[in-house]
Amino acid sequence: MHFGLYGQAGLFVWSIQEDPVTGEAVPGRTILAEADVVGVAVAAEAGTKPDASGESKAAAGEAEELESAPAPEPAASVEKADVNGVIPLFDGKTLGSWEKTQFGGEGDVFVDEEGNLEFGFGAVISGVNWKGDPPATSNYEISLEAMKLDGNDFFLALTFPVKDSHATFVVGGWGGGVVGISSVDDLNASENETMNIEGFEKDVWHKIRVRVTDDKLQAWIDDENKVDLELEGRKISLLPGDIELSVPIGIAAYQTRAQYRNIVWRNLEGGK
């Protein structure tokens, strides 16, 4: 407000003053220059008095220290959705709001020099999970590109919310070929009707997309629909075990080196 009115930084201080017309006690506004505010505030905290210029020795010392200190890095956060409801979940530079999932015996998790999220070999599962709440629990899509580098089991287990529960889209599980949702009516991806058998070569990027609406759960690999499940009357849940650590959103691989990029969330019409 001070800058808008006077074209310079500063603060307003309100105090009780006498109205020159009515003689009544009314609140009055006093303008403090920036140097005065810093000097008085710092001096009060340090127990020293400001000099004639409004600055104290403590203020001058603190100002000098602030000048020489490096600017803090901005905290990782999720950007607001754009006009199309799109929210990027990975910037290709840091883990941001992802954290390494503590499965126990997991491999390295890092961003490589090309800006890809990479998982190293683990004794069991390696992966990351989202810190905080997901952008939505229904009426959304999550997509990414995934590539197997080495290994013989799933190179992607994408865990995501489904209303008040969660599910996992498994790509390349059970020895490298099973694709499906775990779990549907307490049956894992190798046992329920979402199961497909696919072949996945190493060093090939695959586009993965999952859509959750109030009525359906769908999934695609390279624009080919693999899952088209009506949700009414179905129980959607996670396979009991380590994968439960991937909530609310998680990416994991089993004894497999893999890379991921272009991780994007998109709210659909009707999403909250």
Q: DSSP for 100-163?
A: E---SS---EEE-TTS-EEE---SSEEEEEESS--S-SSSEEEEEEEEEEEESS-SEEEEEEET
**Angle CA 125–154–249, to nearest 5:** 65
> What is the predicted pLDDT for the residue at 85?
84
Q: In the chain, what are the domains?
A: 2-68 (no CATH), 86-267 (2.60.120.560)
Q: How many CB atoms lie within 10 A of CB 165?
A: 13
* pLDDT per residue as tens digits for the range 108-123: 999 999 999 999 999 9
272 residues of the chain, pLDDT tens digit each: 444 443 455 554 445 555 444 455 545 544 444 444 334 343 444 444 444 444 444 444 544 444 444 444 333 345 577 767 899 999 999 999 999 999 999 999 999 999 999 999 999 999 999 999 999 999 999 999 999 999 999 999 999 999 999 999 999 999 989 999 999 999 999 999 999 999 999 999 999 999 999 999 999 999 999 999 999 999 999 999 999 999 999 999 999 999 999 999 999 986 44
Query: What residue spans of the chain are helical by DSSP H?
Result: 2-6, 34-46, 57-68
Per the CB < 8 A criterion, the answer to whether 245 and 102 are in contact is: yes
pLDDT above 90 as % of the chain? 67
Query: Which amino acid, one-letter code, is at 92?
Result: G
> How far is residue 119's CA from residue 228's CA, in Å, rounded to a whole number?
29
Which region holds residue 22: left if phi is over 0, alpha if psi is between -120 and 50, else beta?
Answer: alpha
Per the CB < 8 A criterion, the answer to whether 260 and 145 are in contact is: yes
- How deeply is 46 buried, as exposed, middle or buried, from its count of CB atoms within 10 A (0-12, 13-18, 19+)? middle
In the structure encoding, which two tokens stand for residue 63, read together? 């100002």
Q: State the chain's mean pLDDT as an integer.
A: 81
> How far is residue 8's CA from residue 205's CA, in Å, rounded to a whole number?
54
Residues 6+ apart with CB under 8 A from 254: 122, 124, 125, 151, 153, 154, 157, 173
pTM check: above 0.75? no
Distances (CA, A) of 234 to 140, 185, 186: 19, 6, 10
In the structure encoding, which two tokens stand for residue 111, read together? 């961003």
At residue 244, the 3 state secondary structure works out as helix
> How far is residue 134's CA from residue 159's CA, in Å, rounded to a whole number?
11
At residue 68, the 3 state secondary structure works out as helix
> What is the predicted pLDDT for the residue at 187?
97
> How far is residue 254's CA from residue 156's CA, in Å, rounded to a whole number?
8
**Angle CA 131–134–140, to nearest 5:** 150
> What is the predicted pLDDT for the residue at 84?
76
